[in-house]
Amino acid sequence: MEKKYQSLKEFYPFYLTEHSNPTSRVLHFIGTGLVFVILFIAIIQQQWLLLAAIPFVGYGFAWVGHFFFEKNKPATFHYPGYSLASDFILFFHLLTGKQKFNPNN
């Protein structure tokens, strides 16, 4: 039976184990980064239809990482809120160097 996570603090270490492939981490980083770019452009240019692209771009890159490199099922299917929050945490940890793209080094 799958463990039930009760908090983001408890979930995040599991999330990291599901994102241990360097290519997958790069794809997650690109997808999340593009989400911020699209959001910024949509707000600045008041092109609200661009917001519809956000889930496709963000999840598209992430799911390629899961299905082709991690070879696992995205945690989004079971923990959508914790998974989305963890995507942003990992993005900023990678951006600031708190996490590595290759966690095995």
Mean pLDDT (the chain) is 95
Number of domains in the chain: 1
- Within a domain: residue 102? no
**Which residues form the domain of 57?**
30-96
Distance CA 99, CA 63 (A): 20
Distance linking the first and last C-alpha atoms of the chain = 32
Quick check: 13 and 100 in contact, CB under 8 A? no
Quick check: 91 and 85 in contact, CB under 8 A? no
Q: Is the pLDDT of residue 90 over 90?
A: yes
Mean pLDDT, range 67-87, rounded to an integer: 94
**How confident is the model at residue 1, as a pLDDT?**
39
- Within a domain: residue 86? yes
Q: Which of 2-6, 30-34, 55-59, 97-101 has the lowest mean pLDDT?
A: 2-6
- Within a domain: residue 60? yes
User: Which pTM does this prediction carry?
Assistant: 0.92
- Within a domain: residue 9? no
Q: Is the pLDDT of residue 16 over 80?
A: yes
- Within a domain: residue 13? no
